[in-house]
């Protein structure tokens, strides 16, 4: 995290053009950065910016959300599928604080967004004026950088740095808070994109000696194992990753946010890591001899009990953020570098190899998982509809090529396990923060970012109601997303833990839900409801083929549990299959 004191704000260059208002400068800065879409909600302290925006609607699309949290999540969805910086705008006070959840989510999941907030006039700062909140202070722990503008001439300088910081190195959220008098004031406008900031070095210099050390370990390995994180996607290293894995003959497993970096069909891809990941990728972590972690941070959901995590292995960690190296897991070789740069160099130094017997151990684990869990979830012969069979049909009907935007909970884990990703940058979800309500607004942003791709939002009935008002945004803007609500009338993941670890004391997790069909109809969104297995295929085809937004509600098994599962605080070797 960076703060204002770490960045020396230089003097603003002398202007060479005519004067414009600060609010007009904000819009021109966005246009100079190539921004075409922003998500926001107007209010008193940001009203001058919205007045300036009114004159630029032919060049800048503004999506009016129904809640500022939705604006932040939409900006995240846009950023995750495009690699560009998402932008959201809000007013002061509650407008700004409503962004905080999305900002925190973007921070932990390394998503580049620039948030612009209005603020009370500078002479009222600190007086508890109407809708005044110290958003710079509040957001400091969850932003990569933030800055308060109190003079109009600071606007171009601050916004240029905001975009550079947000999407360089390890990406993250940046917030620019602009007082109302700075928006009304005038400046001589000149915009220069930021390409360098003294004391900020987002791209480490690759240490070739570390690459050689890593290559030597890999060349000696008998059971090498590659863990694929989101850093691979952020750096655009998908092809290099596959070339590296194929050369050394090592199996690859993905973290939650690393999903879609590698096609699921790739012969060296062995599955999904984590608390509810696949059996083999978890168990065999404690049997590899060299662990190669690329662009991931060894989150507790991946490692389980750190005292029992990969103690037998020599660990190579390729990571752009030095703060993540040796933070949780002690490395043998630390390569502080951009993933793509490191892989390009590493490919040249590793030997061609094959590890067929080692990969066969993953396949044996896969067969065990199929017999115990998978076939019963994907192909149930009776009983209530299961979440996995619904996801399987979505995967088959979209041929694994849709952008999948999941909320948080059981359905998220099921979708991550069973959707067969075939294209990269196709998985959008809330990982580190685990934000319920993420999916619906993030799917809006994803579709705005990639209008030519099919976007499917998979949501539980609990998370759906946290941001359900964004159906209004979808309706007003005609955003063509396909919404799948898996309804089990429970806060499913919490209920599962209550069943397994709290003797079935279901304390306030059962939901008496409203009629989602009527709500969707109220927003003029086409909708269907399915509660019988024999009706599922025809309903899903109609849902996916419809032109425009469409909601499909599927009533699924009420007390279904998600397995495999690594109990909290346990070793990954003790993953439960039932």
- Rounded Cα–Cα distance for residues 103 and 108 (Å): 9
Instruction: Give yes or no: 444 in active site.
Output: no
24, 33, 68, 553: the catalytic one is 68
1, 6, 19, 130: the catalytic one is 130
Instruction: Give yes or no: 547 in active site.
Output: no
For the chain, the first-to-last Cα distance in angstroms comes to 41
Opening angle at CA 537, ends 535 and 539, nearest 5: 65
- Rounded Cα–Cα distance for residues 326 and 141 (Å): 21
- Rounded Cα–Cα distance for residues 86 and 224 (Å): 37
36, 131, 151, 246: the catalytic one is 131
The token pair that represents 502 in the structure block: 């709290």
B/e letters for 132-169, b = 16+ CB within 10 Å, e = fewer, are bbebbebbbebbbbbbbbbebbbbbbbbbbbbbbbbbb
Instruction: Give yes or no: 454 in active site.
Output: no
Q: Give me the DSSP letters along 417-475.
A: HH----SSS-EE---SS--TT-HHHHHHHHHHH-TTS-EEEEEEHHHHTTSGGGHHHHH
84, 180, 210, 482: the catalytic one is 180
**Is-contact 111 102, C-beta < 8 A?**
no
Q: Give me the DSSP letters along 259-304.
A: TTSS-TT-TTEEEE-STTS-HHHHHGGGT-SEEEEES----HHHHB
Using alpha carbons, list the distances in angstroms from residue 523 to 312, 460, 470, 486, 527. 56, 19, 10, 20, 10
Instruction: Give yes or no: 180 in active site.
Output: yes
Instruction: Give yes or no: 493 in active site.
Output: yes
Beta bridge partners of 431: none
275, 413, 493, 565: the catalytic one is 493
- Rounded Cα–Cα distance for residues 33 and 163 (Å): 8
On the CB side of 12, how many CA atoms lie within 13 Å of its CA? 18
R_g (Cα) of the chain, nearest Å: 24
What is the SS3 assignment for 543?
A: helix
The token pair that represents 432 in the structure block: 């580190």
Catalytically active residues, by annotation: 68, 130-131, 180, 493
């Amino acid at each position: 995290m960076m703060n204002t004191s770490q960045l020396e704000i230089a003097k603003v260059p002398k202007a060479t053009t005519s004067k414009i208002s600060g609010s007009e400068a904000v819009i021109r800065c966005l246009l100079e950065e190539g921004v075409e879409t922003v998500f926001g909600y107007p209010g008193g302290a940001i009203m001058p910016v919205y007045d300036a925006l009114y004159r630029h609607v032919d060049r800048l699309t503004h999506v009016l959300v129904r809640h500022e949290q939705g604006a932040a999540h939409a900006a995240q969805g846009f950023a995750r599928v495009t690699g560009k910086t998402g932008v959201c705008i809000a007013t002061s006070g509650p407008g700004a604080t409503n962004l905080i959840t999305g900002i925190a989510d973007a921070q932990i999941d390394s998503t580049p967004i620039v948030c612009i907030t209005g603020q009370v006039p500078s002479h009222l700062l600190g007086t508890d004026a109407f809708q005044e909140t110290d958003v710079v202070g509040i957001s400091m722990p969850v932003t990569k950088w933030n800055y308060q503008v109190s003079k109009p001439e600071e606007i171009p300088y601050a916004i240029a740095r905001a975009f550079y910081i947000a999407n360089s190195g390890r990406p993250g959220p940046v917030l620019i808070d602009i007082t109302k008098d700075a928006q009304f004031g005038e400046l001589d406008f000149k915009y220069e994109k930021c390409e360098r900031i003294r004391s900020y070095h987002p791209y480490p210099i690759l240490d070739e000696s570390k690459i050689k050390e890593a290559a030597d370990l890999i060349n000696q390995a008998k059971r090498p194992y590659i863990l694929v994180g989101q850093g691979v996607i952020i750096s655009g290293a998908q092809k290099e990753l596959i070339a590296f894995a194929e050369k050394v003959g090592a199996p690859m497993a993905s973290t939650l946010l690393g999903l879609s970096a590698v096609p699921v069909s790739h012969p060296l891809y062995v599955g999904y890591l984590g608390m509810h990941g696949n059996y083999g990728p978890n168990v065999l972590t404690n049997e590899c001899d060299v662990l190669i972690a690329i662009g991931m941070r060894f989150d507790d959901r991946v490692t389980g009990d750190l005292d029992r995590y990969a103690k037998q292995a020599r660990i190579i960690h390729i990571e752009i953020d030095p703060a993540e190296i040796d933070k949780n897991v002690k490395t043998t070789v630390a390569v502080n570098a951009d993933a793509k740069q490191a892989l390009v160099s590493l490919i040249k130094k590793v030997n061609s190899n094959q590890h067929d017997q080692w990969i066969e151990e993953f396949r044996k684990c896969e067969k065990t998982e199929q017999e115990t869990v998978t076939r019963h979830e994907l192909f149930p012969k009776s009983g209530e509809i299961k979440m996995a069979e619904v996801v399987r049909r979505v995967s088959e009907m979209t041929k694994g090529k849709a952008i999948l935007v999941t909320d948080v909970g059981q359905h998220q884990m099921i979708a991550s396990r069973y959707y067969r990703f075939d294209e990269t940058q196709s998985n959008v979800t809330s990982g580190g923060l685990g934000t319920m309500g993420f999916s619906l607004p993030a799917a809006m942003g994803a579709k705005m970012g990639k209008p030519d791709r099919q976007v499917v939002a998979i949501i539980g009935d609990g998370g759906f109601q946290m941001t359900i008002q964004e159906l209004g945004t979808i309706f007003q803007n005609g955003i063509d997303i396909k919404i799948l609500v898996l309804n089990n009338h429970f806060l499913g993941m919490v209920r599962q833990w209550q069943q397994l670890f709290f003797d079935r004391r279901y304390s306030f997790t059962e939901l008496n839900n409203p009629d989602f069909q009527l709500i969707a109809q109220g927003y003029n969104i086409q909708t269907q409801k399915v509660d019988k297995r024999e009706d599922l295929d025809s309903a899903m085809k109609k849902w996916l083929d419809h032109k425009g937004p469409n909601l499909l509600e599927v009533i699924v098994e009420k007390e279904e549990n998600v397995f495999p599962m690594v109990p909290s605080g346990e070793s990954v070797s003790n993953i439960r299959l039932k």
